[in-house]
């Protein structure tokens, strides 16, 4: 049985509020938690497979060139070496998220420093690693553009409305500022890994990937197989943050090697290779213009950005994504340009677009509040638009004002115009700052199968992944709520392309998309049960393993009568998310201490208030927000990819030099989950939360730095040297 | 010539290039210990050697002849998790779970270091016994990266086990 829904209209029934089991939204522990804490959850590289050999990627240290010859004999005599693979089908870049087709081939056509060009396979990892360093190759290399500021750009997106220049000239108050942000790495803790087996014309790959149905298509297309011949397994993924959206180079290389050798092959990237070859968030150069009347009401809004990517890549960091609708202003200019340069592929890193686009707008808003002389929270409240300022669509639901107000109260925000340097503790200036949060909502097609087993338990199956996001927990909770079962009676199987294709994890689409697929499947099961009882589905209550209706009650096991019933839910996005502006919103508040002498910033506490539709599990949702706030700290203060301007290599390609926040960088964090039902967002009224917590928060820190010490820093990350340089004398 | 891991002896590897981490993950078939960087930069590979935490990727297996190694599998099991393991579940001290075995090994040893009076950068008075403050815990856990950003919950889990509040 299948239940299909293309959601063309908002669903205001809020079915999950009336089902009665009361597990939806509850802060339950992750069902897979014990596996993870005992080291028994198995990640891609950890499967025990007989006869498995080990592959290590060989990379080329030039930004542009071509491998002309690979001398296999140079390493074949080394102990344990089995083969040197330089197949034309090896991929030089990762696939972009949801590409569904082969990424750039052949790998020997080198477009960035450190591109993989070959694979050495040996009996052991140590042998393969050694041999990979000794492969003799001939190549030709050439110069290539490396500096995004020094090349002609291509326009990627442009929207004009009214006359921004005129609005700026007429404005009572205006801000016109340029910000820069540097590149970011996803830096998921599990390095990219694949273990490929080729048997009887079928390829099975354990890999660390986020979006399996797309990845399967990408892998099949890369090596020339039918999708049906490929099975991908990723039940546990050690973080993704965008870097595992598309099939990456080691997956294709391991697959080709396994097919070539007729033996299982494992390829794990080194941490350096992950940094150098997978993908980066583009650096950005952004100009923000704000024009306002005497009360701070926006009359003009301008956001122009330059990002970069390799030639041939369609992805452009969508910096303007939320600028289209976050604030009012009838005169608008939004423009995005792409510079073609030779750094590794630019792609999605957690919250592509907003992670760097909102924090610049939010610093500019802080500057405007200072000019107008009002509380920065009040400035935001005055500029919440009635409808989408560009296309006039209504907002489906929006908790921005509530987030600003409730966040301010929880934080203890003082509603006053800001005057820097009001508090000092020894050599530390103390200040507070705030920012709004916004992240567009989207859903994608997803299927899930739910089986009611004769014993009265349920099985949920989809190829959806759980990359730490809580999919195991929330999908079980949706099913439990719909079927009247306690979560312990529900088994959730994920991460296997033999299961119905879900959405995958990326762009915060997973919970709403796959949750809706599970919801639909359960609706089908409820209908079947109601039919068996001869009642209308609406009259049926399922709770604690019993079916109840006005006329009586019956145990689920009895209704099932020794036979399982199953239903596949098939969710497709429709007009409901097109007819309205659908987005998650929130607000950030931060307190910082800035050292008077060194310019070092320590974040002392943060509060985030977020509205993202229905909360499916308050614990895992909160954890997502905590993760987002943690990323705000790295984004604001430490994270930047640094490229050598001469030879183009990534200088800080490891975790010692690329500084993700560590435990001591993260202070007390407070998260407010604002309950909301967004009927247009999905049939379960949920939106995405995985990225929202990162969309704008760095500006709360930037604004707090200004409030503390008077330094207005226009370059992210705000490292001590930059803060010190911007700090006013005395 | 053997390394004892969780009470069981494993013969030293033939290849002297084998790190203790690869030895544990591959030769001893205990993949609970994770490899995040292989360069001593992330803490995912943290294990206890003679009760003291180390980054196992930074150590060659052949240098551990006769050592007693404890890995995440040795701290507790699915049927009988350790208090620290249970607290990580209860406080959602992880998301993807990849840094988690390292965090738990590290936290387990860290509390013993604190109890033994070892100072840290967060210790105000080097003469006195360190207090179990949040900052002490954060500082001492800063060698274990968590990109999912579970630090706040990791702190709560450790506090819970330590059973004190500052
Ligand atoms: S793997 Fe040993 S510290 Fe990262
Ligand atoms: S739980 Fe994912 S890195 Fe810590």
A88 noted as active-site residue: no
pLDDT digits (tens, 9 = 90+) for B98-154: 999 999 999 999 999 999 999 999 999 999 999 999 999 999 999 999 999 999 999
Q: Is A721 on the interface with B (CB under 8 A)?
A: no
Distance A272 CA to ligand 1 centre (A): 13
Report the CATH superfamily, name and number, of domain B2-75.
Beta-grasp domain (3.10.20.30)
> Are A458 and A430 found together in one domain?
no
- 3-state secondary structure string, A51-101? CCEEEEEEEECCCCEEEEEEECHHHHCCCCEEEEECCCCCCCCCCCCCCCC
CB interface of B with A, residues 107-146, below 8 Å: 122, 134-135, 137-139, 141-146
Instruction: With beta carbons less than 8 A apart as the criterion, state whether A320 and A352 touch.
Output: no
Q: Is A39 on the interface with B (CB under 8 A)?
A: yes
Token duo for residue A567: 């239903």
pLDDT of residue A729: 84
pLDDT digits (tens, 9 = 90+) for A532-567: 999 999 999 999 999 999 989 999 999 999 999 999
pLDDT(B164) > 90: no
- Asked if residue A225 belongs to a domain, the reply is no
Chain A residue at shortest CA distance from B30 = A39
N residues, chain B: 166
- Domain's final residue, options A577, A606, A637: A577
Distance A629 CA to ligand 2 centre (A): 14
pLDDT of residue A44: 98
> Are A548 and A571 found together in one domain?
yes
Q: Where are the domains of chain B?
A: 2-75, 83-165
> Are A369 and A500 found together in one domain?
no
The CATH number that applies at residue A650 is 3.30.365.10
Residue tagged active-site, from A362, A402, A591, A691: A691
Q: In 3D, which of A432, A425, A419 has the Cα closest to residue A728?
A: A419
pLDDT of residue A246: 98
- Asked if residue A28 belongs to a domain, the reply is yes
Give residue A463's domain range: 2-41+443-577
Class of the domain covering B83-165: mainly alpha
> Are A541 and A593 found together in one domain?
no
pLDDT digits (tens, 9 = 90+) for A648-695: 999 999 999 999 999 999 999 999 999 999 999 999 999 999 999 999
Q: State the distance between the two ends of chain A, measured CA to CA, in whole angstroms.
A: 74
CA dist B74 and B76 (Å) reads 6
pLDDT(B165) > 50: no
Q: How many CB pairs under 8 A join A and B?
A: 189
Q: Is A666 on the interface with B (CB under 8 A)?
A: yes
Q: Tell me how far the alpha carbon of residue A314 is from its chain's centroid.
A: 18
- Asked if residue A109 belongs to a domain, the reply is no
Answer left, alpha or beta for residue B10, where phi above 0 means left and psi between -120 and 50 means alpha: beta
Give residues with Cβ within 8 angstroms of B160, minimum separation 6: B87, B90, B91
Neighbour count for residue B82 (Cβ, 10 Å):
18
- Asked if residue A281 belongs to a domain, the reply is no
Return the minimum-mean-pLDDT range out of A95-99, A416-420, A635-639, B51-55: A416-420
- Asked if residue A246 belongs to a domain, the reply is no
- Asked if residue A553 belongs to a domain, the reply is yes
pLDDT of residue A730: 66
> Are A657 and A670 found together in one domain?
yes
Coil, strand or helix at A625: helix
Residue nearest to atom 4 of ligand 2 (CA): B146
pTM (2 d.p.): 0.98
Task: Find out whether the beta carbon of B42 lies less than 6 Å from any atom of ligand 1.
Answer: yes
> Are A558 and A663 found together in one domain?
no
> Are A648 and A596 found together in one domain?
yes
> Are A536 and A620 found together in one domain?
no
- Residue A141's DSSP bridge partners are A65
Chain A residue at shortest CA distance from B133 = A664
CA dist A320 and A158 (Å) reads 10
- Domain's final residue, options A577, A605, A620: A577
Contacts with B76 from chain A: Cβ below 8 Å: 37-38
CA dist A526 and A20 (Å) reads 14
> Are A529 and A496 found together in one domain?
yes
Residue nearest to atom 3 of ligand 2 (CA): B146
CB interface of A with B, residues 256-295, below 8 Å: 268, 270-271
Distance A464 CA to ligand 2 centre (A): 19
- Choosing from B89, B100, B106 the residue with most ligand 2 atoms within 8 A of its CB, the one to mutate for a pocket test is B100
Q: Mutate one of B70, B95, B158, B161 to test the A interface: name it (highest A CB count within 10 A).
A: B95
User: For chain A, how many structural domains are there in total?
Assistant: 2
Token duo for residue A214: 């797309």
N residues, chain A: 730
Annotate A233-260 with DSSP letters as a single string: E-S--S--TTTTSS--HHHHHHHHHHHH
- Asked if residue A493 belongs to a domain, the reply is yes
pLDDT of residue B48: 98
- Domain's final residue, options A542, A561, A577: A577
CA dist A124 and A511 (Å) reads 40
A344-367 mean pLDDT? 98
> Are A468 and A596 found together in one domain?
no
Distance B100 CA to ligand 2 centre (A): 6
> Are A644 and A667 found together in one domain?
yes
The phi, psi pair for A400, rounded to 5°, reads: -65, -50
pLDDT digits (tens, 9 = 90+) for A606-651: 999 999 999 999 999 999 999 999 999 999 999 999 999 999 999 9
- Asked if residue A316 belongs to a domain, the reply is no
> Are A693 and A569 found together in one domain?
no
Q: A330-361: buried (b, 16+ CB within 10 Å) or exposed (e) per residue?
A: bbbbbbbbbbbbbbbbbbbbbbbbbbbbbbbb
Token duo for residue A222: 């890369």
Give the H or E element holding residue A591. strand A583-595
């Amino acid at each position: 049985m299948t239940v299909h829904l293309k959601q063309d209209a908002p669903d205001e029934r809020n079915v999950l509020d009336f089902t009665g089991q009361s597990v939806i939204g509850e802060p339950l522990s992750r069902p897979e938690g014990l596996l993870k804490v005992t080291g028994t959850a198995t990640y891609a590289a950890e499967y025990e497979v007989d006869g498995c050999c080990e592959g290590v990627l060989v990379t080329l240290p030039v930004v542009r060139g071509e491998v002309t010859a690979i001398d296999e004999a140079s390493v074949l005599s080394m102990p344990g070496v089995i083969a040197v693979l330089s197949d034309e089908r090896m991929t030089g870049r990762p696939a972009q998220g949801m590409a569904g087709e082969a990424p750039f081939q052949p790998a020997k056509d080198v477009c960035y420093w450190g591109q993989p060009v070959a694979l050495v396979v040996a009996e052991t990892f140590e042998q393969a690693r050694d041999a990979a360093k000794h492969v003799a190759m001939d190549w030709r290399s050439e110069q290539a553009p490396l500096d995004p500021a020094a090349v002609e750009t291509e326009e990627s997106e442009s929207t004009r409305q009214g006359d921004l220049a005129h609005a700026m000239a007429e404005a009572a108050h205006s801000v016109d500022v340029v910000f820069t942000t540097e590149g970011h790495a996803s830096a998921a803790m599990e390095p990219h890994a694949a273990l490929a087996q080729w048997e009887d014309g079928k390829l099975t790959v354990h890999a660390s990937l986020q979006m399996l149905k797309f990845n399967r298509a990408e892998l099949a297309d890369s090596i020339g197989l039918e999708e049906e011949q490929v099975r991908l397994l990723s039940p546990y993924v050690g973080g993704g943050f965008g870097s595992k959206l598309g099939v990456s180079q080691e997956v294709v290389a391991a697959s080709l090697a396994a097919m070539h050798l007729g033996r299982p092959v494992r390829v794990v990237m080194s941490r350096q290779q992950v940094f150098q070859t997978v993908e980066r968030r583009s650096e950005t150069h952004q100009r923000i213009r704000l024009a306002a009347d005497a009360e701070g009401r926006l009359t003009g809004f301008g956001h122009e950005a330059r990002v970069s990517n390799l030639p041939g890549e369609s992805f452009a960091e969508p910096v303007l994504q939320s600028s289209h609708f976050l604030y009012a202003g009838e005169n608008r200019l939004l423009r995005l340009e792409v510079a073609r340069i030779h750094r590794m592929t630019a792609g999605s890193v957690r919250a592509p677009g907003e992670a760097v686009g909102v924090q610049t707008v939010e610093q500019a808003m802080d500057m405007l509040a200072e000019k107008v002389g009002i509380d920065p929270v009040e400035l935001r409240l005055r500029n919440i638009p009635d409808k989408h300022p560009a296309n006039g669509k209504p907002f489906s639901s929006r908790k921005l004002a509530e987030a600003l107000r409730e966040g301010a109260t929880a934080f203890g925000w003082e509603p006053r115009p800001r005057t820097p340097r009001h508090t000092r503790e020894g050599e530390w200036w103390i200040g507070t700052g705030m920012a709004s949060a916004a992240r567009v909502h989207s859903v994608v097609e997803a299927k899930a199968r739910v089986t009611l087993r004769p014993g009265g338990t349920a099985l949920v199956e989809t190829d959806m992944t759980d990359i730490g996001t809580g999919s195991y927990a929330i999908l079980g909770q949706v099913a439990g709520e719909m079927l009247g079962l306690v979560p312990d009676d529900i088994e959730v199987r994920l991460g296997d392309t033999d299961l119905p294709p879900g959405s995958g994890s990326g762009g915060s689409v997973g919970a709403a998309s796959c949750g809706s697929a599970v919801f639909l499947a359960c609706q089908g099961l409820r209908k079947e049960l109601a039919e068996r009882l001869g009642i209308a589905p609406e009259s049926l209550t399922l709770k604690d393993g019993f079916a109840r209706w006005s006329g009586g009650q019956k145990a689920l096991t009895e209704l099932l009568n020794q036979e399982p019933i199953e239903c596949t839910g098939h969710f497709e996005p429709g007009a409901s998310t097109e007819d309205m502006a659908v987005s998650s919103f929130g607000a950030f508040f931060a307190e910082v201490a800035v050292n008077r002498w060194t310019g070092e910033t320590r974040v002392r506490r943060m509060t985030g208030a977020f509205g993202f539709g229905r909360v499916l599990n308050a614990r895992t949702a909160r954890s997502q927000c905590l993760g987002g706030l943690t990323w705000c700290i790295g984004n604001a203060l430490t994270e930047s990819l640094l490229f050598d301007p001469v030879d183009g290599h990534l200088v800080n390609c490891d975790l010692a030099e690329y500084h993700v926040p560590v435990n001591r960088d993260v202070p007390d964090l407070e998260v407010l989950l604002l309950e909301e039902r967004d009927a247009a967002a999905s049939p379960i009224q949920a939106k995405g939360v995985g990225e929202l917590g990162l969309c704008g928060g760095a500006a709360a820190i930037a604004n707090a730095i200004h409030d503390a010490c008077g330094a207005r820093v226009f370059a992210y990350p705000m490292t001590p040297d930059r803060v010190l340089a911007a700090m006013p004398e005395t | 010539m053997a390394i004892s891991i969780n009470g069981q002896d494993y013969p030293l590897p033939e290849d002297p290039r084998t790190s203790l981490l690869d030895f544990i993950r591959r030769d001893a078939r205990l993949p609970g210990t994770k490899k995040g960087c292989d360069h001593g930069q992330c803490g995912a590979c943290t294990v206890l050697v003679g009760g003291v935490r180390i980054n196992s990727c930074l150590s060659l297996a052949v240098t551990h002849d006769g050592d007693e190694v404890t890995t995440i599998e040795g701290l507790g099991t699915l049927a009988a998790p350790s208090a620290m393991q249970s607290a990580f579940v209860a406080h959602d001290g992880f998301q993807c779970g990849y840094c988690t075995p390292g965090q738990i090994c590290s936290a387990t040893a860290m509390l013993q270091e604190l109890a033994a009076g070892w100072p840290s950068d967060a210790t105000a008075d080097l003469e006195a016994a360190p207090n179990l403050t949040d900052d002490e815990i954060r500082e001492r856990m800063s060698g274990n990266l968590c990109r999912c950003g579970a630090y706040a919950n990791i702190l709560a889990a450790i506090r819970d086990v330590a059973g004190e509040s500052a």
